[in-house]
Amino acid sequence: MTITPPALSVFESLESEVRSYCRGWPAVFDRAQGARLTDEDGHSYLDFFAGAGSLNYGHNNPVMKRALIDYIERDGITHGLDMATTAKRAFLETFQNMILRPRDLPYKVMFPGPTGTNAVEAALKLARKVKGRESIVSFTNAFHGMSLGSLAVTGNAFKRAGAGIPLVHGTPMPFDNYLDGRVPDFLWFERLLEDQGSGLNKPAAVIVETVQGEGGINVARAEWLRALADLCRRRDMLLIVDDIQMGCGRTGAFFSFEEAGIVPDIVTVSKSISGYGLPLSLCLFKGELDVWEPGEHNGTFRGNNPAFVTATAALDAYWADGQMEKHTLARGEQVEQALLALCTEHGRLGASYRGRGLVWGLEFADPARASEVCARAFELGLLLETSGPQSEVVKLLPPLTITPEELDEGLRTLARAVAATV
């Protein structure tokens, strides 16, 4: 289809230069349903972005929409701080019965604020409070948020520079396969911990993503994660898993760390926990770590009751019988086969792919090609974004509820976009 760029005068004249996604997708979007968005001119786009992972169940999911409308129409509580409400009780009970108890996870639930970086800040603050230490270890190419504490454990130089002040008390270590398998796992980390002359203050915690989404779809092996958990246990460091983008079923299981068989001390969850794209985040931690004093960490919008309603509906609809995980893994195999065929067909591009569940990355030897592919895909009616330190990876993040036919359509469009840039 041919898309004429809209008049964006008010966005260009009034909105800050910080805007980013709209620059790659020059359309004014008006409606959305499932895996598709429609702009104000009636053009339809297949969504392989899913609100950066906030829309695992698609746009305007009818189950959650009905629950939300019913709640609003009966004048249910909207803003509740941390007050006890019927909506919060229903969510906590459902989350405990459907997610925590079946997995034997011993977590308390904290509502730190509406966004993922709020959950990360709470996790770091709690780890330091429990251990009485300041240092946090993170990993190369990590992304944990845009507030100062989260940026201090984020790897991207461009985003870190935006802080405007030194980012301290964070130390990066090599992520899985960062050194191409030439060095034994955690050799450097262990050596620094052992050496009194290393300059590494004993860390309070280690924070890790099982799959680095913004960092380039870098997938940690299950054995690497198990070894990390063992290292933390032996060295008296808390293990924090940032499951903000990879949780809520993105990799198959509800939590992305389940495949590795580990139980982190602290887990951060956001994005798709509300199910509907409404802001909500959780900081989960083992009961013995609950050393907060009342009101010691708070936030005006930590009690988003409409998000509790849609979150409860999402758990009821998709996590009661185990079918969502099977569906996601099946769709993931469909993506993997398509990417294999694409890389084989265009071998001279030096393309490679990697991923888990329904998060995949297509990397090109020429970093600029990824942006070219995404631009062409938009012209063909497919929303894709790049990731990685040089934006060298085309990131595939479709809704988990996407149909096999829609997924195939999007993958064929991706193939056309790649071919158009050869």
In sequence order, what E strands does 276-332 have?
282-286
Check residue 271 and report its DSSP letter.
G
Distance of CA 268 to the CA centre of its chain: 10
Name which of 382, 379, 385 is nearest 402 in CA terms: 382
Distance of CA 372 to the CA centre of its chain: 24
8 A C-beta contact, residue 418 and residue 342: yes
User: Per-residue pLDDT tens for 279-295?
Assistant: 999 999 999 999 999 99
* CA dist 165 → 84, 161, 162 (Å): 39, 8, 8
Cα–Cα distance for residue pair 40/331, rounded to 1 Å: 30
What is the pLDDT at residue 8?
59
What is the pLDDT at residue 347?
87
What is the pLDDT at residue 393?
97
What is the pLDDT at residue 9?
84
* CA dist 156 → 74, 136, 141, 145 (Å): 45, 17, 6, 11
Tokens coding 371: 């942006």
pTM metric for this prediction:
0.96
List, for the chain, all residue ranges whose pLDDT scores fall below the cut of 50.
none
SS3 content of the chain, % helix, strand, coil (to 5): 40, 15, 45
Bridging pattern class, strands 136-139 and 205-208: parallel
Paired residues of 109 in beta bridges: 284
Give buried/exposed letters for 190-215 (b at 16+ CB in 10 A, else e). Answer: eebbeeeeeebeebbbbbbbbbbbbb
What is the pLDDT at residue 3?
54
Tokens coding 290: 């609950």
| Angle between helix 404-420 and 368-379 (nearest 10) | 120
What is the pLDDT at residue 370?
97
* CA dist 85 → 108, 109, 139, 159, 298 (Å): 18, 15, 39, 38, 17
Cα–Cα distance for residue pair 170/152, rounded to 1 Å: 6
Cα–Cα distance for residue pair 308/292, rounded to 1 Å: 23
What is the pLDDT at residue 2?
52
